[in-house]
Amino acid sequence: MDKRNFLKILIIILILAGGALFGIRLFGNEEKAEREEVTVFSESADESEECQIETEERIVRGDSLSGILENGDTVRIHVGYYQCHPVEREDIVAYNYAGKEAPLIKIVKAIEGDKFQLKKSTAGCGWNILINDKILKNSQGKDYCFGEHGYRMLSLYEKDYKGVIPKDTLLILGNWANGSLDSTRFGLVDKGDLLGKIIK
């Protein structure tokens, strides 16, 4: 083989070798980029699986939240909201009440860890609920005040839980100062029974 042919072959080999190396480097980068995208996609998928929030429109039936929501108002329920968000005081929630086809709409007045106490009303209307040493009030600033039935129901929880709302447990009320179909009738409720958060 003469020197000229040898140089041609050598140049071709170098070009091919350089191209091959360049191609592997590009392929390696593309492969890495693809993995990163897949990882991000997987993380997004995991989050959406844990917290799938759907929005439903519902019409309010009843007036136990009058002053906040009126009979006939249309609201949106963020169904599944509390699977990935904490419940906060004053949230308006849809609660799955056993025996009722439609959920109840109530206000969260106490959450886990809150200090819970019942006290005879000085106004002579029955009993007040104190949360963290303050008398609960409705949206018009009136003290919640209820009779003996409500006292008997809630005093069991006060005694059993030593005056502290337990984990994943809530006190939910309507907006009527003298109580409605709420925790004064059926007691404290489990967070897992919330359908979702109400948005006006």
Q: What is the pLDDT of residues 10-65, one digit of tens each?
A: 555 544 444 433 332 223 332 322 222 222 222 333 444 567 899 999 999 999 99
Of 25-34, 79-88, 132-141, least confident by mean pLDDT is 25-34
Nearest partner of 186 among 115, 120, 116, 95, judged by Cα:
95
Would you say residue 126 lies in a domain?
Answer: yes
Predicted confidence at residue 22, as pLDDT, reads 36
Helix or strand run (H / E) with residue 142? none
- Number of domains into which the chain is organized: 1
Predicted confidence at residue 189, as pLDDT, reads 97
Sign of CA dihedral 70, 75, 80, 81: negative
Mark out the alpha helices in 51-191 (DSSP H runs).
148-160, 183-186
Would you say residue 43 lies in a domain?
Answer: no
Q: For a pLDDT cut of 90, what percent of the chain falls above it? A: 70
Predicted confidence at residue 15, as pLDDT, reads 47
What mean pLDDT is predicted for residues 156-164? 96
Would you say residue 123 lies in a domain?
Answer: yes
> pLDDT tens across 86-109, in order?
999 999 999 999 878 899 999 999
Would you say residue 12 lies in a domain?
Answer: no
Predicted confidence at residue 200, as pLDDT, reads 87
Cα distance between residue 66 and residue 180, in whole Å: 11
Token duo for residue 187: 């007691």
For the chain, helix (H) and strand (E) counts, in that order, are 3, 11
Residue 196 or residue 28, greater confidence: 196
Nearest partner of 93 among 84, 85, 103, judged by Cα:
103
Cα distance between residue 193 and residue 100, in whole Å: 13
Q: Give the domain CATH number at 67.
A: 2.10.109.10
What mean pLDDT is predicted for residues 135-145? 96
| Amino acid code (one letter) for 120 | K
Would you say residue 70 lies in a domain?
Answer: yes
Cα distance between residue 66 and residue 81, in whole Å: 24
Would you say residue 23 lies in a domain?
Answer: no
The distance in angstroms from the start CA to the end CA of the chain is: 89
75: confidence class by pLDDT, cuts 50, 70, 90: very high
What mean pLDDT is predicted for residues 173-198? 96
Predicted confidence at residue 123, as pLDDT, reads 86
Would you say residue 117 lies in a domain?
Answer: yes
The domain in which residue 93 lies consists of 54-199
Would you say residue 159 lies in a domain?
Answer: yes
113: confidence class by pLDDT, cuts 50, 70, 90: very high
Q: How many residues does the chain have?
A: 200
Three-state DSSP at 92 gives strand
